[in-house]
Amino acid sequence: MTRPTARRRVVSLVPSLTEAVAAEAPEMLVGVTDWCSHPAELDVARVGGTKNPDTDRIIALAPDLVIANEEENRAPDLAVLRAAGLEVVVTEVRDLDQALRELERVLVRGCGLPRPGWLDEAAEAWRDVRPAEARRAVVPVWRRPWMVLGRDTFAGDLLARLGVANLYAHHAERYPRVPVEELNASGADLVVLPDEPYLFTADDGPEAFPGLPAALVSGRHLTWYGPSLVEAPAVLTAALRAAG
């Protein structure tokens, strides 16, 4: 089977996919979003946010491929890029297994790169996870208004693999708005507070859940799918244990 020809010019509209491509061939990236923070030394054109990319600038960069995500990026923006003749690959990620498949699709079939070794390392790291005692949690991702993880989320799947049951996993919405009073009355024995998309900290978040242990976790390890998946089980487990 002939391997696809490697693309020479790639624009990434997803921070985790930016990190994934940069881990293998950083020279391929000619444009990334303002939120693409890894690797820190990446020096390429910035094309705006994930929700408000500068489509004119992206088109002017003349990429061979634009990589995006159906949740992080807006369909109208992707339609503009396609109308300009650009090839756009859009990922869909709801759980770890799907994330690993989509990463291979983007990197190997999309970018024409060899399959990265860290994909197998990530799969092995998560196979080796031994969940601790089961916990029932609420997982805010925003405040003002409060929003939490709901159904069919990648982050929710990772937490479940670590023994943390998301109490809103069966909600009709993927990211429902829920009053904090309801969250406190939900029966949770843990609140999980990632540092993105909202930057929860020790001084901003735990005080809203008096008497409830708070696990402050790395949003990159909880919500990104890319090379960070290799170390994510250990990083997240340590944060959950620190919450008591």
Residue-range domains of the chain with CATH: 10-115 (3.40.50.1980), 132-242 (3.40.50.1980)
> Over 121-187, what HEC string results?
HHHHHHHCCCCCCCEEEECEEECCCCEECCCCCHHHHHHHHCCEEECCCCCCCCCCECCHHHHHCCC
Lookup: tokens for 145: 């208004």
Q: Is the confidence at residue 162, as pLDDT, over 90?
A: yes
Chain centre distance of CA 120: 18
Instruction: With CA atoms as reference, report the closest residue to 47 among 80, 14, 75.
Output: 14
Q: How confident is the model at residue 1 (pLDDT cuts 50, 70, 90)?
A: very low
Query: If you average pLDDT over every residue of the chain, what do you get?
Result: 95
pLDDT in tens, 190-233: 999 999 999 999 999 999 999 999 999 999 999 999 999 999 99
Q: How confident is the model at residue 7 (pLDDT cuts 50, 70, 90)?
A: low
Burial class (CB in 10 A: 0-12, 13-18, 19+), 122: buried
Distances (CA, A) of 113 to 13, 22, 106: 19, 11, 9
